[in-house]
């Protein structure tokens, strides 16, 4: 009987069961920074963003919380999603993140997409600081959510995922020193780490997707925004050390005995889940379903 209950519990986290309701624009922290969201691919907005780099200002950090309507579980898993955008642009309503959150809420998760501090001045130091600010904000979001007793989040089943810069943040959230809530598994979608040694600091399982021909993020060891075809997209002085993409992360994680699953994708794209016309690709659904089954193994 216990085995049957356990099986049913796992199945409820891989197949849609619930209708979904959303708490939108929930403020989870107040801080200082440049901005919290910006349109992706809107060149007309760029001068305005650069102007805002003159100084920081008070900011409200907010999130959208997707909930399984009618769920009565006393303890529900949490999925914390972070969008990409090079720590400069992006927003919590990005189509991929929003749709993944809605799907995971239908499985029984509390699924959350956050806005976090964006923007950095064109120096190596401020780019590094932008990554730290994103991590601090993701940590603040986690603290807020765990403090909401009405959400009934199970602190033993915390998951994080993101694309690009969001994946960098998710990995940093899961693999950091100190006494922090444990992230059981990470969805790392075309992200990277600065040092493979960080994987020694945690035990999270890692699911990864990336193209070996990614034109933005290195697949193995390399520098972001540099390809043989396009040269250097950004000044060399922004990056003092190489980064390590999903191929390198997979190999090191295996050596460390972590549970890992990696999908190298042949299409030479960075954002694998969104087509040029804004529609979802087949990869979007593959990532969604693989992530559901990969996370369910943690129950």
pTM: 0.93
- Predicted local confidence at residue 291, as pLDDT: 98
How far is 169 from 100, CA to CA, in rounded Å? Answer: 17
Rounded distance between C-alpha atoms, residue 12 and residue 157, angstroms: 14
SS3 per residue for 96-116: HHHHHHHHHHHHCCEEEEECC
C-alpha to C-alpha distances, 181 to 65, 135, 155, 158, nearest whole angstrom:
19, 14, 7, 8
pLDDT of residue 258: 98
- Tokens 């979904």 correspond to what residue? 20
CA distance 294 to 259: 10
Residue 251: which residues within 8 A CB-CB, separation 6 or more? none
Report residue 54 as tokens. Answer: 């003159």
**Buried b vs exposed e over 5-18: b needs ≥16 C-beta within 10 Å?**
eeeeeeebbbebeb
pLDDT for 44 equals 76
* pLDDT in the model for residue 74: 95
Q: Which of 181, 193, 204 is nearest to 260 (CA)?
A: 204
> CA angle at residue 39 from 228 to 241, to 5 degrees?
35
CB 119 within 8 A of CB 88: yes
pLDDT of residue 124: 86
φ/ψ of residue 128, rounded to 5: -65, -40
**pLDDT digit of tens for each residue in the chain (299 aa)?**
444 444 445 556 999 999 999 999 999 999 999 999 998 877 777 788 888 999 999 999 999 999 999 999 999 999 999 999 999 999 999 999 999 999 999 999 999 999 999 999 988 899 899 999 999 999 999 999 999 999 999 999 999 999 999 999 999 999 999 999 999 999 999 999 999 999 999 999 999 999 999 999 999 999 887 654 444 445 555 666 889 999 999 999 999 999 999 999 999 999 999 999 999 999 999 999 999 999 999 99
Q: What is the pLDDT of residue 239?
A: 67
Q: Which of 187, 194, 186 is nearest to 221 (CA)?
A: 194
Q: What is the pLDDT of residue 235?
A: 54
Provide the residue ranges of all domains of the chain, joining segments of one domain with +: 2-296
Short-list 121, 106, 101, CA closest to 33: 121
For residue 118, what pLDDT is reported?
Answer: 97
Which residue, among 67, 69, 68, 64, has the nearest Cα to 83 in the 3D structure? 64
Q: Which architecture does CATH list for 2-296?
A: 3-Layer(aba) Sandwich (3.40)
């Amino acid at each position: 009987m216990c085995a049957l209950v356990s099986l049913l519990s796992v199945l409820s986290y891989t197949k849609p069961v619930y209708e979904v309701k959303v708490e939108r624009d929930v403020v989870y922290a107040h801080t200082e920074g440049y901005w919290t969201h910006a349109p992706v691919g809107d060149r007309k907005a760029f001068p305005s963003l650069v102007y805002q780099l003159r100084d920081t200002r008070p900011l409200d950090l907010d999130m959208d919380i997707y909930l399984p309507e009618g769920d009565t579980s006393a303890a529900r898993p949490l999925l914390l999603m972070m969008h990409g955008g090079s720590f400069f642009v992006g927003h919590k309503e990005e189509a991929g993140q929003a749709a993944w959150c809605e799907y995971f809420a239908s499985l029984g998760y509390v699924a959350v997409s956050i806005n976090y501090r964006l923007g950095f001045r064109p120096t190596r130091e401020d780019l590094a600081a932008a990554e730290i600010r994103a991590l601090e904000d993701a940590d603040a979001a986690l603290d807020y959510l765990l403090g909401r007793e009405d959400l009934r989040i199970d602190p033993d089943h915390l998951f994080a995922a993101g694309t690009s810069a969001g994946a960098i943040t998710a990995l940093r959230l899961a693999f950091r020193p100190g006494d922090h809530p444990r992230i059981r598994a990470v969805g790392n979608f075309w992200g990277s780490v600065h040092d493979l040694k960080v994987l020694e600091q945690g035990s999270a399982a890692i699911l990864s997707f990336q193209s070996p021909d990614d034109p933005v993020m290195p697949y193995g060891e390399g520098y972001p925004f540099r390809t043989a075809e396009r040269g250097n997209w950004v000044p060399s002085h922004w990056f003092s050390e190489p980064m390590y993409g999903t191929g390198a992360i997979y190999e090191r994680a295996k050596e460390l005995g972590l549970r890992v699953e990696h999908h190298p994708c042949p299409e030479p794209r960075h954002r694998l889940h969104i087509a040029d016309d804004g529609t979802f690709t087949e990869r979007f659904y593959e990532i969604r379903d693989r992530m559901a089954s990969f996370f369910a193994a943690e129950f």
